[in-house]
Amino acid sequence: MSRLVMKFGGTSVADLDRIRRVARHVKREVDAGHEVAVVVSAMAGETNKLVKLCREASLMHDAREYDAVVASGEQVTAGLLAIVLQSIGVDARSWLGWQIPLRTDAAHGVARIADIDSRTLLDRMSRQQVAVVAGFQGVAPDNRIATLGRGGSDTSAVALAAALGAERCDIYTDVDGVYTTDPRIVSGARRLPKIAFEEMLEMASLGAKVLQVRSVELAMVHGVRTFVRSSFDDPDAPQVGEDNLPIGTLICDEDEIVEKQLVTGIAYSRDEAKVTLRRVEDRPGVAATIFGALADQAINVDMIVQNISEDGRTTDITFTVTTADFDRALALIEGMRPGVAMEMVSGSSDVAKVSVIGIGMRSHAGVAAEAFKALAARGINIQLITTSEIKISILIDAAYTELAVRTLHSIYELDKT
Say whether 184 counts as a known binding-site residue. yes
- 274 is an annotated ligand-binding site residue: no
Q: Is 391 annotated as a binding residue?
A: no
**Cβ neighbours for 166, distance < 8 A, ≥ 6 positions apart:** 2, 3, 4, 5, 37, 160, 224
49: left (phi over 0), alpha (psi -120 to 50) or beta: alpha
Find out whether 39 is annotated in a ligand binding site.
no
By residue count, the chain amounts to 417
Whether 210 has a binding-site annotation, put simply, is yes
Angle between the N-to-C axes of helices 367-377 and 401-411, in degrees from 0 to 180, rounded to the nearest 10 = 130
Element (H, E) at 28: helix 16-31
User: Is 180 one of the annotated binding-site residues?
Assistant: no
Establish whether 416 is an annotated binding residue.
no
Chain centroid offset of residue 157 CA? 13
Looking at residue 398, the DSSP 8-state letter turns out to be G
Q: Is 45 annotated as a binding residue?
A: no
Q: What is the CA radius of gyration of the chain?
A: 23
> CA–CA separation, 151 vs 76, rounded Å?
17
120 annotated ligand binder = no
**Is 268 marked as a binding-site residue?**
no
Residue 244's Cβ-side half-sphere holds a number of Cα atoms within 13 Å equal to: 0
DSSP alpha helix (H) spans, 336-392: 367-377
- Which residue numbers belong to the known binding site for substrate? 47, 74
- Which residue numbers belong to the known binding site for ATP? 7-10, 173-174, 179, 184, 209-210
- Which residue numbers belong to the known binding site? 7-10, 47, 74, 173-174, 179, 184, 209-210
